[in-house]
Structure 1
Amino acid sequence: MTPVLQFTDKGIYCPGGDFYIDPWQPVPRAVITHAHSDHARLGNQHYLCHLESVPLLQLRLGADISVQGIAYGETLRYNGVSISLHPAGHIIGSAQVRVQQGNEVWVVSGDYKVENDGLSGQFEPVPCQVFITESTFGLPIYNWQPQAMIFSDIRKWIYENQQAGKSSVLLAYSLGKAQRLLFNLKDLDTPIFAHGAIDVPHQVLLAQGYDLPAIQRITPDTPKADLKKSVIIAPPSAAGTPWMRRFNPYALGICSGWMQVRGSMRRRNADAGFALSDHADWSGLLQSVKATGAEKVFTTHGFSSAFARYLQENGIEAEAIKTAFGNEDEEAPQEAGTATAAVDPTPDNGTAAAPAAGESE
C-alpha cells in the first residue's frame, strides 16, 4: 500500500492529494507549516498555510504569490485526502499539518514548542498513526527553564547594564524570537530600538492587530544619545559588524537555545546568553510524541538520529530522515556541532541558513 506521505527529493509528498508539505524545490501545490525560509521557499505555484501566516509569507516571498489561508481545524479535501492545520506554538501562524487518507492519519509537526509564549498560541498534540517530528534539540542536555524565569533574568540583566551606563543589545532571530522578546518585555520602562530586519515584520504584525509594543527603528540619523542605556533588538547577523559600534558602551546578550551549552556564550563573544528557544526541548519532544499516540515516528532536522535511536530503545518504531530543513530561526546551528564534542552524535542538518532579506542593514 502506498504510504500517505513520502519523502522525496523535492520534499514531503502526498501522492493521493498531489501536494507537498514544506517543499525545498518548486512544486505546483505547497502546504506550508510556517514562514521561516527553510520551510517556506520561493517558486511554488500555490501556497496553503494558516491565516496568520499569509501576510508573513507575502512579506518574505512577495505580495503577488498565490496563497490561501485557513483557520486551525478547518478541513480541506483533495482527491479524497483530508488536510487540516493545528497549532504548533512555534511562531505566529505556525501549524502542524494533519493528513488523513481513509482511516490512516499522518501529522507533520513543522517546528514547534510546547510552552505557550503568549503570542504564538498553545501547541496542540494531534492523535495519529504516524508522526513526523522536528528534533532540533533532540538531546537530553536541552531542557528549558520556564519562560517567566528567563525573562526575569533578561530584565535583571538590562537593569544591571543600565546601572553600569551601558545599552543592552539582544540578538534574536527577526521572525518569531524578536516578537516573543518584544511581547514579553513590553512593560519595560525603557526605550526599545530595533534593527531594520526586526522592524519590517514588526510593522506587518502591528498592522494585523497583534499586541506588540512600539519600537523605534535605528537609522543612520538616530542620535547616539537616544540609544544610551536603551534596549536594542537585532538579528544574529548584526553581531561583529560596524553597525554595532554606535551602541558603545553596550553589553551583548544572545537569545538562543544553543546557549544551554556551556561555553557557547564565550565562543560567540557575548556578555550574556539566554536559553530562549522557539523549539521544543528534550522533554517537550518526548511529551509530544507520546501525546500523539503514534505507532511510527520519523525524526527530521537537528539531532534526528540520536532522537530516533532513543525512541527505538524505548519501544517506539522510529526512523531519522534527511531533509533540507535547518535551524534558521536559531541562527546558530554550528553550536549544535559544538555541543556534540562532549555528548555526540552530531546534528544531521547543521548547515547555516542565510540571513533573511534585510538583515544586512
Structure 2
Amino acid sequence: MADLVVQRPEGLWCPPGDFYIDPWRPVARAVITHAHADHARVGNGHYLAAAPSEGVLRSRLGAIDLQTLAYGEAAVHHGVRISLHPAGHVLGSAQVRLEHGGQVWVASGDYKVAPDRTCDPFEPVACDVFITESTFGLPIYRWRPDDELFADLNGWWGRNAAAGQASVLACYSFGKAQRILSGIDPTIGPVIVHGAVRPLNDAYRAAGVALPDTRLVTEVGDRAELRRALVLCPPSAVASTWLRRFGETSTAFASGWMQLRGARRRGGYDRGFVLSDHADWPGLLSAIGATGAHRIIVTHGSVPVMVRYLQDQGLQAEGFDTEYGDDVVEADAAAGNGEAGPDGPAAEAGPGGAAGEGGAGA
C-alpha cells in the first residue's frame, strides 16, 4: 500500500492529494500546521490552515490565498480527506489528519501536551501512521508544572522591581511571549513589549485570547516605571542598543534549552526559565502512544534516539529528513512603529545558533 506522505525536495508531499505539508520550497498547494517561520513560508500558491491561525498567518505572511478549516472540519481534495486537529503548540497550531485508501496518517507539526491558556489543547488522533517531531526527544527533558514555573518567574520580577531593576525576559515573539503574558502577575508592575511582539499580541487578542495590558517603551514617560517593568523581547534585542533605554536590568531567557547546563551561561543571561512550547520526553511518548499508530515517522530534533527507543518498544519507526529547525531564522515582522530601531526584524536564535527550539517558538 502506497504511503500517504513522502519526502520530496520541496517538503512532505501527499501523492494522491498532490499537496504538501509545511513545505520549505514554494509549491502550488500547502497545508500549514502553524505559523512559525520554519513551517509557514511565503511563496505558495494556496494555503490551508486551521481557522484560529488566520490572524497570525496573515500578520506574518501578508496577502496570501488562505483557506481555513475549523478544528475537526473536513475537506476532500483529490479523494484525500483532510482534517485539522489541535496540536497545543501555539495559537492555531494543528495536526493534519489524512484519510485515503483505507489508511489514516497524522502529521503533527510541532506540539505539546501540557496545558496552555493561549491555545487549544493537544488532541490525540487515532491513526495508522503518526509523523512526530522530537525537538526535545531525550529523557533529560521534563518540564515543571506551569504554576511552579510562573511562581518562580513572578518572584524574580518582584525582587527586581523592589531593587529598581527592569526584568528583561528574552523569549520568542510568537507563542512564547503570549504564553508568558497569560501566566504572569501584572500587579507587580508595568509590562513592556518589544515592537516585534505587539502585532502577535494583537492577533492573539483578536482570536479571543485574554492577555494583560502591555505597552511599548516609547509609550512610557516615567523612568521610574521602567525600573519596575517586565520587558518581553526577542533574544537579539538583549544584545542591541534598544536595551539601554531601561537602565539597570536583570536579564533572563525563557526556553526549553535552559534545561541544559551551560546554556544560560553561554547566552550571557542572569537567569534561565525552562519554558517550552514543545512536548518534553514524557509528553512525546504519551502523545505517540495515544495515537495507537503502529508506524512512527520522526521528523526533527533527536531523531536517532527517538527512532531507536520506539523500535525497542516494538514499533516500526524511522526518520524523515526535513528542514524544520535546521538553522532556520525565526524573523519577526517589524511592527512599523520604530520600536525595533536599527535592529530591524529581530532574528530569534536559540543556544547553539538554531533559531528557537527546533527552529522556532522554543
TM-score under structure 2 length normalisation: 0.90
- Conserved 8 A contact 1:237-1:355: no
For 1:188 and 1:244, the matched residues in 2 are separated by 23
Distance change (3 Å), C-alpha of 1:155 and 1:133? same
Give, in whole Å, the separation in 2 of the partners of 1:275 and 1:221.
30
Q: Which amino acid aligns with 1:251?
A: S
Counterparts of 1:247 and 1:68 in 2: how far apart (Å)?
Answer: 43
Moved over 4 A (4+): 220-223
**CA distance, structure 2, for counterparts of residue 82 and residue 3 of structure 1:** 15
Q: In 2, distance between residues paired with 1:219 and 1:19?
A: 45
1:52 paired residue number:
52
What is the deviation of 1:353? Answer: 1.9
Return 158-167 or 183-192, whichever deviates more: 183-192
Q: Is the 8 A contact 2:106 2:131 kept in 1?
A: yes
Aligned equivalent of 2:2: 2
Match of 1:138 in 2: 137
The code of the aligned residue for 1:182 comes to L
Specify the alignment match of 1:115 in structure 2.
114
Task: Identify the residue that residue 318 of structure 2 maps to in structure 1.
Answer: 319
1:88-146 Cα shifts (integer Å, max 9, x gaps): 00001000000010220000000000011112121011111101001100111111011
Do structure 1's residue 273 and structure 2's residue 272 form an aligned pair? yes
**Contact conserved, 1:90 with 1:279, CA < 8 A, in 2?**
yes
The equivalent of 1:26 in structure 2 is 26
Aligned to 2:169: 170
1:320 Cα deviation after fit: 1.6
* Matched residue type, 1:270: Y
Unpaired runs of 5+ residues, structure 1, are: 327-348
In the superposition, the TM-score normalised over structure 1's length comes to: 0.90
Mapped contact 2:84–2:95 kept (Cα < 8 A): yes
Q: What one-letter code is carried by the residue in structure 1 that aligns with 2:294?
A: E
CA distance in 1, matches of 2:244, 2:262: 25
1:186 shift after superposition: 5.2
Task: Judge conservation of contact 1:143–1:282 (CA < 8 Å) in 2.
Answer: yes
**SS of 1:219's equivalent?**
helix
Determine what percentage of the aligned residue pairs are the same residue: 49
AA at the equivalent of 2:228: K
What secondary structure sits across from 1:216 in the alignment?
coil
* 2:158–2:188 Cα contact (<8 Å) kept: no
Alpha carbons 2:253, 2:264 under 8 Å: kept: yes
Measured after TM superposition, the shift of residue 176 of structure 1 is 0.2
Task: State the 1:180 CA deviation.
Answer: 0.4
Say if 2:177 and 2:197, in contact at 8 Å, map to a contact too. Answer: yes
| CA deviations over 1:271-330 (Å, ceiling 9, x no partner) | 11011000000110011111111111111111112111111122111112110111xxxx
The residue type equivalent to 2:319 in the other structure is A
Describe how 1:64-79 pairs up with structure 2 within 5 A.
64-79=63-78
1:357 to 326, 329, 333: 333
In structure 2, distance between residues paired with 1:8 and 1:222: 54
Superposed displacement of residue 69, structure 1: 1.1
Distance 2:269 2:221 in 1: 24
Count of paired positions: 337
Cα drift, residue 356 of structure 1: 2.2
For residues 75 and 39 of structure 2, the distance between their equivalents in structure 1, rounded to whole angstroms, comes to: 21
Residues 195-252 of structure 1 show CA distances to partners (whole Å, capped at 9, x for unaligned) of 0001121123223332111100123975533311111110112121111112221101
The structural deviation recorded for 1:187 is 4.2
Is the 1:300–1:323 Cα contact (8 Å) retained in structure 2? Answer: yes
Residue 282 of structure 2: aligned partner: 283
Structure 2 match to 1:92: 91
Contact kept? 1:224, 1:246, Cα under 8 Å: no
Question: Is the contact made by 2:37 and 2:328 (CA closer than 8 Å) also made in structure 1?
Answer: no
CA distance in 2, matches of 1:147, 1:35: 24
| 1:5 counterpart letter in structure 2 | V
Q: How does 1:129-208 map to 2 (within 5 A)?
A: 129-185=128-184, 187-208=186-207
Q: Are the counterparts in 1 of residues 220 and 226 from structure 2 also a CA contact under 8 Å?
A: no
Contact 1:193-1:215 within 8 A present in 2 as well: yes
Greater mean alpha carbon deviation, residues 174-183 or residues 161-170:
161-170
| Distance in 1, Cα, partners of 2:88 & 2:205 | 19
Aligned to 2:36: 36
The gaps in structure 2 that reach 5 residues or longer are 335-339, 345-362
Q: Is the 8 A contact 1:138 1:304 kept in 2?
A: yes
